């Protein structure tokens, strides 16, 4: 009986990790296909590392469980992508120059995995107005609006494609709903298009 439960758990875990990994690989390969098959160029828009406190630390130390990263896409952007990497707050990791999202895309480097040093997840939002970005940053305040289709609850490291056509004002919102674990998050944004 115990062996059956252990085997079932192991098979589920293997399927879940393989499914999550293959989903990332498909998304990254779709981005590479666009970059390989179209005229235009890539531009690194931003790379920022932010910290989001746990709920307990935010409550007792006046910290913040939410942060926003402004996205300023260059004129001529036709498509854009983001890579979110979630780590423990004590990590001081940063990507080497030849591991960044921009480098991988610019050099058509296929990847076979996503760096996931923690099992914790963040809530991801794409925000469109400065009022929503300000309200979002207020811990506990849920009176903000995000762009429909751009909310990912409790997500670990991932990539995604941004909204096109895109509004002039954009922010990526990161929220940590973990009660005890603070998190560091690397946010990378890369644009493709004919820039002027």
How would residue 61 be classed by pLDDT, with cut points 50, 70 and 90? confident
Domain span at residue 15 reads 2-193
Percent of the chain exceeding pLDDT 90 equals 66
DSSP symbols for 81-119: EEEEEEEETT------GGGSHHHHHHTT---S------S
Tens digit of pLDDT for each residue in 16-48?
A: 333 444 444 566 666 766 666 667 899 999 999
The arithmetic mean of pLDDT across residues 106-124, rounded, is 87
Instruction: Please tell me the distance from the alpha carbon of residue 109 to that of residue 149, in angstroms, as a whole number.
Output: 28
Region 94-123: mean pLDDT is 90
Structurally, the chain folds into a number of domains equal to: 1
Determine the Cα–Cα distance for residues 133 and 110; give it in Å rounded to an integer. 34
pLDDT given for residue 40 in this prediction = 84
CATH number of the domain encompassing residue 104: 2.60.120.380
Q: What is the pLDDT of residue 36?
A: 66
Reported pTM: 0.82
Q: Tell the residue number behind the tokens 């296929």, with chain if given.
A: 110
Query: Per DSSP, what are the bridge partners of residue 184?
Result: 51, 87
C-beta of residue 192 within 8 angstroms of C-beta of residue 78: yes
pLDDT for 28 equals: 63
């Amino acid at each position: 009986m115990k062996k059956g439960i252990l085997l079932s758990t192991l098979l589920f875990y293997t399927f879940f990790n393989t499914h999550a990994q293959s989903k990332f690989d498909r998304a990254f390969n779709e981005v590479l296909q666009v970059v390989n098959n179209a005229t235009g160029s890539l531009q690194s828009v931003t790379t920022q590392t932010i910290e989001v406190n746990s709920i307990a630390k935010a409550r007792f130390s006046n910290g913040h469980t939410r942060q926003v990263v402004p996205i300023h896409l260059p004129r001529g952007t036709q498509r854009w992508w983001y890579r979110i990497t979630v780590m423990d707050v004590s990590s001081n990791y940063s990507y080497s120059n030849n591991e960044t999202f921009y480098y991988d895309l610019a050099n058509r480097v296929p990847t076979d995995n996503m760096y996931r040093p923690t099992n914790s997840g963040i809530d991801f939002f794409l925000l469109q107005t400065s009022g929503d970005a300000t309200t979002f940053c207020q811990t506990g305040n849920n009176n903000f609006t995000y762009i429909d289709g751009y909310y990912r609850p409790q997500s670990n490291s991932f990539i995604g494609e941004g909204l096109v056509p895109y509004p002039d004002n954009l922010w990526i919102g990161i929220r940590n709903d973990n009660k005890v674990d603070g998190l560091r998050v690397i946010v990378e944004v890369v644009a493709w298009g004919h820039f002027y």
